[in-house]
Structure 1
Amino acid sequence: MIGRSRRDAGQAFPIYVVMVAGLLFLVFAFFAVGKAAALRNGSQGAADAAVLAAANEARKNYETGFLASLPEDLLDQYLESHPVIGCPAAQGLASANQADVTFCQETLGGYRDRITVDVEGRKTVNSSVLPGSEKTTAKATATAEIEFRCKWRSVDLNHDSIRDIFFFTCKGGGFLEIRPSSPPPWSEVSKILYDVHLVSN
């Protein structure tokens, strides 16, 4: 009986080893999957931050062209054809979130301009149970829209074809009065004229 018990124990030991090894593999695999998901979330956050920074930069850069179009009442023309320049601001926010911009596109849309940014995280999954994961990084894409959300009317006080006052009525209840000769700070009015938000890709 004693000999048989020892034989049974000896036969069971390799099974225990295999079971423990299997459990350890599963633990490491679940850890790797969790790390990959966390890195993916981090990259998406970096992409969102980067594209919003680019969109806000573009909105800031509208100032010169927008204000220059007002006296001659060329605002419609400006909105339909104007430069959208924001991508240079994207990398700073991506870098702050441990990622790099791999692609950035600015698209003129008139009343709805768009910027799309692709980023790649700097950290790798680097799991011993996933071959090639030492080179696997998380990638993400985000798109932001810069929406001009106001209607306007202009007044020519001197009857000389030069518009002296513009009145803007905007979505959300915003109202602005802009005199081209002495406009208010763009940092304030641009946030009423233009809404910046993320959109689904």
Structure 2
Amino acid sequence: MRTKSLIIAALCAVAVGCANRASEGKKLPLELAQMAKNGTLPYAQKETSAAAGAAVDPVKAALEQSLKEPYANDFGPESVSIAGYPAKEQEGYKNFLAKCTQCHSAARPLNAQYIDDNAATTDKWVSHHESGVWKRFVKRMMAKPGCAVTPEEAGGIVAFLVHDSKVRKTGANAAAWKARRKKLLADFKKKHPKRYTLLYGN
């Protein structure tokens, strides 16, 4: 008789335990939030919450990466004068500042060595001439997760970068540009020697 009573008690305990576990899975969001705050979430719920918290914003991640892995360009001016630029290029500049700077500083493209033309390149780290170079970079940027640039905006941004690089880095301004770019590289080498070697060699 005593043995039978013990078996019945054990079965009841198991049933209660199962009922409790089942009820945990039916808790309301408010209850779960309070349990999370108190640190009393069931194990499965803790795992789910941790996974949700681990979701990373790709745009924010790109910006953080750009800050951790700088280029010489990043330490130059973050804006340019667009007075006299055509309307499309001016609009492209506005979109460039609004959209491209979500993943990196405006200084990175503005102070880059790239010039969109077919001229010969004598120093690829100072004045790198390549036809279609800005279109290639913008297209690559648009392929990244979280990029909110529309095709129309991209066309304007490319137009701005092409025009701006020719205005500020060639012709009468070529010598001044080369001097500024070389100084950026020299300063970067002093401040970030390991990163300089990784990017630009010795």
Does the alignment reach a TM-score above 0.5? no
Q: Which has the higher helix share?
A: 2
Q: Which has the higher strand share?
A: 1
TM-score, normalised with respect to structure 2: 0.30
